[in-house]
Chains A and B, each alone.
Chain A
């Protein structure tokens, strides 16, 4: 019944930086009802790689990020699976050690920079606090680390940051501060949950470029969680699509965009307005609405909206299968290539 997305073994050691196996996170509703927000998610991540998790609201993508840092809000709980961090299961690590891990080895970037920063602490002070909590550094070294990190994200103001408060900065700058905060201890992975949703287009471009550069410089892995296909395709190496808690498709970016196999992925890609379009046109849309998570239909949750639906889809949730090397899809009837005019639609080849 569950969609089990599998793992790719690292050729050298067989151990990944992060390997999530069949993760399940549920929310208890009332006495005996549950929302299965994440139902059997698996993926792997290696240093320097970016995984983009895309999904619509309610698909469970943010629950994934909360699960990875073990901060799922009650009444939610992790119901099963493994999250192997350098081979160690995060679920078996004691709370104290987990707290040390968060912020030090695992950095987090939240959506809203305004409420995620302490308005009563100077910008430099907040970063300093993080550094001193996690790293054994002298005051002088810690300050140097803070300034160096701020420079990495494009804030070059020197000591002034120890006198300025978040309200002295624009939203774009505050988001840079958030990013600086998440990388000030040089984590091995950064989890960014909708990091640019609140920002204007030009500032968004600046932040995405900064993230990409940082990753290049520090060799971090990144999980980017977003609903924006443009953003995810600009910076991900692999893309994972979630729908109603299930991983529907998991593939390298290029294959995903040019040869999506899951009808939901195909529908999403054709639903996105394209800036390069030759003229305005009607979009090919997915009919209907996302399901109520408390009343999921039997079988595949996407079946009621799927244009390729068959009898079997209403009866049984398909297991994920490897349809091409490294390309996994949880569908009984993956979309054949002939059905796609995406290349033409993206007008990518034509610009050549």
Chain B
């Protein structure tokens, strides 16, 4: 895995938005949304990012897409900084990196046929003749398990699961290298979500894709990812390979997420308790001093309220931001 070329390199990115009030727009504070995130995404990896609402995961996705500015730090794609790309490079980046949205209804134009939706990216980039684009649309539909004869229909004629497949087909139209997905199955029913998750894995094998997927559901990411980052208050509090995080979670927040995820298996096991973490995610305008998780943490010590924890490495791939864990000795 280490030998694979890196697709995305993210170095210590921060996003702080000033809060301005009053007549002279005096700055009264800042929303600290991303507070120093560093990671790299290598070719062929499926990286998950799990966090609750307000943790900054969607803003992180915007940063990877160059859809918002950074306060500091750097995002590079294939070794090129996103903010110093020229027009051609940027066009290439927009081709290579595609996004799949959470909401399969709102992200498809209601008055375009599926064929138009799928061939539009090709037309914009002046790829192929109209006839070739039509054929490509049919091919894409088959790729995601829909019938090519449905190409003339409109989005409302499809069910939620089918629409999400259309969203995936559209993302694939440009033969992308990397797919970013924002909660790709949270709006889908159980049986359809499972189909879409399998489709993600099939397509990855077929086209050697790289994924970055944000979600709030730890079980979905368990099924899908090779590595995982747990985000809390704009920081990756724990990163590691999937088996590292699920088999030996270190950060108290990671443990809280795992223990509070409802589970069929645990519900049958009378010895295991469904544990309930205290409190709620902090407001990004009023982050607590020290470790942002300390007010909710059962293991907090004095130092946690004062000092930001250092990053501790457990293995080459597994790191945690915590004063207490992993315990020494």
Chain A positions within 8 Å of B, measured between CB atoms, are 56-57, 170-173, 200-206, 208-209, 227-231, 233-234, 253-254, 257-258, 267-269, 271-277, 279-287, 289-290, 346-348, 351-352
Contact = CB atoms under 8 A, between A and B. Distances in A.
Interface residues on B, range: 35 or more
15 contacts: A201-B260, A202-B281, A203-B280, A205-B274, A227-B190, A231-B262, A257-B264, A272-B264, A273-B217, A273-B220, A273-B222, A273-B224, A282-B201, A289-B162, A348-B269
B191 A267 contact: yes
Contacts, number: 157
Nearest to B265: A346
Contacts of B260: 201-202, 204-205
A57 B162 CA distance: 14
Interface string B238-278: 00001100100000000011111111111111001011110
Contact of A200 (B53, B259, B263, B265): B53
A234 B280 contact: no
B19 interface: no
Closest 5 CB pairs of A and B: A230-B262, A205-B260, A200-B52, A271-B194, A56-B189
A269 B192 CA distance: 13
Contacts of B203: none
A233 B264 contact: yes
Given A205-B276, A275-B261, A283 B267 contact: no
Given A230-B264, A348-B268, A281 B274 contact: no
Given A227-B190, A257-B268, A172 B217 contact: no
Given A209-B274, A283-B198, A272 B190 contact: yes
Contacts of A231: 262
B58 interface: no
B189 to A, nearest CB: 4
A280 B198 CA distance: 11
Residue among A201, A253, A286 with max Cβ neighbours from chain B (10 Å): A201
B226 to A, nearest CB: 7
Contact of A170 (B160, B161, B194, B280): B280
Given A202-B52, A346-B265, A229 B190 contact: yes
Given A202-B280, A274-B222, A290 B159 contact: yes
A286 B281 CA distance: 36
A256 B90 CA distance: 53
A277 B224 CA distance: 11
Residue among A206, A285, A287 with max Cβ neighbours from chain B (10 Å): A285
Nearest to B242: A280
Interface string B171-191: 000000000000000000111
A201 B257 contact: yes
A277 B242 CA distance: 11
B193 interface: yes
Residue among A254, A280, A287 with max Cβ neighbours from chain B (10 Å): A280
